[in-house]
Structures are given as C-alpha cells and as structure tokens.
Structure 1
Amino acid sequence: MTSKYEIRLNSKIDIRRIYTNETLPLRKKVLKPFLTEEECINPGDDLTSTYHFGLFQENKLISISTFIQEGHPDFLSTFPYRLRGMATDTEFQGQGLGGILLQHGVEYLRQKECDFLWFNARIKAFPFYEKLGFSYYGPLFDIKDIGPHKVMYKILIPK
C-alpha cells in the first residue's frame, strides 16, 4: 500500500517523499564529494514548502531530488520552484531512473499549481535536462569547486 506521497512504479521501484537527512549521502557522493554531509544541506531544505523525493529500487535509495520554493531574479512567476540536489547514484546512472524521478517532481509541482521550475545545471547534465524539455537561460558561469553551469528552466502549466 502506498501513501499519497508515494508512487509504486513496479514491484522493485517506487518514489517516496523523504527528509533532508535522507538526501545527504547521495548529495555528498554524487554532487559534492569534497564536503561533509552536513555541508551539503541547502538553504530552504527544511521549509514546509520544500519537497524531497527519493526513488528507491528494492528499498535502496538510488535517486534524489529537492524542490525549494524560490524564484529566479530574472523571471516573473506566480509560484516558482527551484530544483536543488538532483542526483542518481553512479551505479544506476544512464538507466532513466533520474528522469522518472524528475518527471514525478514536475507533475507533483504542477498539481500544486507551480508555474515555473528552474535550476543551475552542470555541463555534463545538459543532455539529461534537454531530453526532459528544459531550456537554457543566460551565459555559462562557474560554481567554485564544482565547475561550469547554466541556468535551465521549464514553464509549467498548472493542472
């Protein structure tokens, strides 16, 4: 049986709402191996308006996403969100699981009447986000210790 925050994709894969502390091991491993888990906490992680989702395969957390209610300074939006800390365990990358998780988050936000989703994307993730219909905005910029990024976004039509 699943809760309203849980989706069972098949007998081996499901998506659940999770807590900030559950995201930290994958954030550290995949996104910021040079930091401690505690340093991987993002501003806004523990707000009630923030949503953390995890994709589990046979009860092992293998992909995470965090959606924080935050606007981008260059876009006008009624109800914007920012994607932070999207990561899939390196052993499971390239199987489409991160895309399934991100699409779940987009649909969840759409149902909440979010109209705009944005984030800073790493160069190596550009093809992943392009396949899911995200667009680029602005110039390439560097984030210290991580590398080049570009803002990407998607306009959502609330349901």
Structure 2
Amino acid sequence: MNLQVKKIPFNKTFAVRHPVLRAGKPVETCYFEGDELPTTTHFGLFLEEKLLGVLSVFKNECPIIESKKAYQYRGMAILAPYQNKKYGVLLLDAANTWVAEEQGDLIWFNAREKAIGFYKRNGFTIFGTVFDIANIGPHVLMFKYL
C-alpha cells in the first residue's frame, strides 16, 4: 500500500472537506478564510493517486495560549471508508513535522467533540471547556507545544 502525504492547493481540500465536514451544505462552505494565503499550507494524504484525507495548516496566533510562532490546524478530515485505520496519524505526523521544521512552537485547533480521543492519543491537550461553533457543533480548543 503506497500512502503518501503531499502538499496540495487549497481547492483540492474541498473533495474531502465537503463530504466529511460540510455534508449537506453548499461546497462554498468548504472555503476557510485564509486558505489562499502564502502562509497557509495544505496537506493531502494519498493512496496511490486517490486523495483520502486533508489537513490545512494556518500560520495563526492562538487567541488564548501564548506563543512565539503558532500554527492552527483546520479542516482535518479523512474520507469515511478510510477512517479508523490510523491514516489520520500519518497526516497529523506530517503536519507536525512540517510545523517543527518551520520553527513553530505551538499547534492549536478547535476539535470536534468526536475527535477529542484521537487528538489526545496523539499528544494534544484540551484547553478550556466545550463551546459551540454555529452550524457546525460542539468543539474544544486543543493544543500542543513543540
């Protein structure tokens, strides 16, 4: 099995963001403010040539946790048939390595409640309590210092 993580253009993320994160909503909702910035990097997990998962990394200071150079993860998603197979770990590890190479000192994101266990198993910590993102659902802020 030939799994590879590669950088991709932001619009390629929609093929995974839409069915996993924005099902039933217009495809336009897959665009995140800052997607097209040169400081944003998008990663795709491929099996041969098939895109299975995505993760976007935004150079963005955390509004709550102090750092010198923070990166925010957004839109991490794995297509349903490929979930719970440890593929997400490959994507997360590649992004973590990239952030470390960029001398980032903090990774943070808003995690959906159902993904908290996955992120905890991969070294992230919850900060604060559950909050609701309108039209998306309950989330928690999670982080990891590098």
TM-score normalised by structure 1 residue count: 0.89
Q: Are the counterparts in 2 of residues 16 and 54 from structure 1 also a CA contact under 8 Å?
A: yes
Partner of residue 50 from structure 1, selected from 40, 55, 62: 40
- Determine whether 1:119 maps to 2:87: no
- Determine whether 1:73 maps to 2:46: no
SS in 1 for 2:96: helix
Q: Are the counterparts in 1 of residues 55 and 77 from structure 2 also a CA contact under 8 Å?
A: yes
- Determine whether 1:87 maps to 2:67: no
**Structure 1 position 37, deviation (Å):** 1.9
Q: Are the counterparts in 1 of residues 42 and 54 from structure 2 also a CA contact under 8 Å?
A: yes
**Structure 1 position 145, deviation (Å):** 2.2
In structure 2, stretches of 5+ residues that fail to align are none
SS in 2 for 1:133: coil
In structure 2, C-alpha distance between the alignment counterparts of 1:108 and 1:22, rounded to whole Å: 19
**Structure 1 position 115, deviation (Å):** 0.5
In structure 1, stretches of 5+ residues that fail to align are 1-10
Q: Which amino acid aligns with 1:117?
A: I
1:127-146 equivalence runs, <5 A: 127-146=117-136
- Determine whether 1:61 maps to 2:51: yes
In structure 2, C-alpha distance between the alignment counterparts of 1:120 and 1:66, rounded to whole Å: 13
SS in 1 for 2:72: strand
**In structure 2, what is the equivalent of residue 6 of structure 1?**
none
**Structure 1 position 65, deviation (Å):** 0.2
Equivalent pairs counted in the alignment come to 146
**What's the C-alpha RMSD, in Å, of the aligned pairs?**
1.0
Q: Are the counterparts in 2 of residues 81 and 117 from structure 1 also a CA contact under 8 Å?
A: yes
**Structure 1 position 88, deviation (Å):** 0.2
In structure 1, C-alpha distance between the alignment counterparts of 2:131 and 2:101, rounded to whole Å: 32
Q: Which amino acid aligns with 1:138?
A: G
Q: Which amino acid aligns with 1:90?
A: A
Q: Which amino acid aligns with 1:21?
A: N
| Identity among equivalent pairs (%) | 37
Q: Are the counterparts in 1 of residues 5 and 90 from structure 2 also a CA contact under 8 Å?
A: no
With 29-38 and 58-67 compared, the bigger mean Cα shift is at 29-38
TM-score normalised by structure 2 residue count: 0.96
Q: Which amino acid aligns with 1:109?
A: V
